[in-house]
Amino acid sequence: MMKEALKPFDRQDEVDALADLIRIHVANIAVGIFDAGRFSKLPAHKQIEAFVGGGLTAVIGVAFAMVANNEDAHDAIESFVTDYVPQARALAESIASSNKDNFFQ
C-alpha cells in the first residue's frame, strides 16, 4: 500500500466505483443509527465520537480480515487508513457540496 497524491473520483475506476457503493451503504446504515433514541439523546460531539469510533473500528477490523494476522500487516493497514484521511475528507466535501440534498446517493 503506497501513499498516493489526492486524486479525483473516477466512476470508471473499479476501486472508486466500489468505494462509492460502500460509502452509500454505510451512509444509509447511519440513518438508522441516527434515529436510535440512545444516539439522538447524545450531544453532537458525543454522536461524532460514537459514530467515528465505531465506524473506524469496523473499518480497521474488516481490513485486518483481508490481510495476514500479524503486526506488520496491521501496521500497514493503520498507516494506509491514516494516510487516506485527507482523500476521504476531500471526497466527502466534494459530495456534500455537489449533492447538498442527499449525501446518501
At 32-67, the pLDDT tens digits run 998 888 999 999 999 999 999 999 999 999 999 999
- Enter the pTM of the model: 0.78
Instruction: Using alpha carbons, list the distances in angstroms from residue 48 to 26, 66, 91.
Output: 15, 27, 19
Higher-confidence residue of 60 and 31: namely 60
CB contact burial 47-76 (16+ within 10 A = b; e otherwise): eeeeeeeeeeeeeeeebeeeeeeeeeeeee
> pLDDT tens digits, residue range 75-94?
999 999 999 999 999 988 88
Q: Where are the domains of the chain?
A: 42-100
Q: How confident is the model at residue 2 (pLDDT cuts 50, 70, 90)?
A: very low
